[in-house]
Amino acid sequence: MRIPSLIVHEHVLRLGWPGLASIGFALTALLLGGLGLLPQWQQLNAQRQQYAEAEQQLQRLQRGEWVAPVSSPDPLDDFHKQLPAQPQATEAIDRIYALARAEKISLSRGEYALGVDPKTHLARYQILLPLRGSYPQIRRFLHALLGQLPALVLEDLDLQRKQIGDSELTGRIRMTLYLSRS
């Protein structure tokens, strides 16, 4: 059904500007309200789907078709298993030196101390290494170090320049490598 434009024009003139503005505000409010409710509606549908999946898993579990995964009784045991063992400390230190060589950073002979953390009963290998390189090299080295050795904790980093114009930094890095005692 086609409405003649003359009738529409007549109704618009009868409403006037205040009427048109109120219709515009009402349509804008409906649009914004709909857009505001859309995320909640999607979240509600996702929760309904999760509920349905949980119901299906429960029914399969009750029928014996599915066995629930057994979680470890102590998550700390899982953490200890993920740490490198104490005999693997030399491999981790070799990895530190390999990462430094890859970034062309000079690591001088450092100090190493092996101890046991009294709270966690983990082996704690404290490492103090003098280093020399540019800031970008040292930054990439630290990023790679923490990314590839998650059991390594960076405790202290001390960097200095001999002169303001020097691009090479000298300093020391203190780290602790945590190891399981198995």
pLDDT in tens, 122-168: 888 899 999 999 999 999 999 999 898 888 999 999 999 988 888 89
pTM of the model: 0.56
CATH architecture of 76-179: 2-Layer Sandwich (3.30)
Interatomic CA distance for residues 117 and 124, integer angstroms:
6
Q: How far apart are CA 116 and CA 179, in angstroms?
A: 9
Residue 114 scores a pLDDT above 70: yes
Name the amino acid, one letter, at 10.
E
Do residues 134 and 168 touch, judged by C-beta distance below 8 A? yes
Q: What share of the chain is helix, strand, coil (3-state, %, to 5)?
A: 55, 25, 25
Where are the chain's structural domains?
A: 1-69, 76-179
Distance CA 87, CA 167 (A): 38
User: Could you give the percent of the chain with pLDDT greater than 90?
Assistant: 26
Taking each helix axis from N to C end, the angle separating 135-148 and 89-102, rounded to the nearest 10 degrees, works out to: 150
Calpha distance 143→141 (Å, rounded): 5
pLDDT tens-digit map of 2-44: 777 777 778 778 878 888 888 888 889 888 888 888 888 889 9
The answer on pLDDT for 97 being more than 80 is yes
What's the Rg (C-alpha) of the chain?
33
Q: How many CB atoms lie within 10 A of CB 69?
A: 5
At residue 159, the pLDDT reads 92
Show the tokens assigned to 182: 């198995």
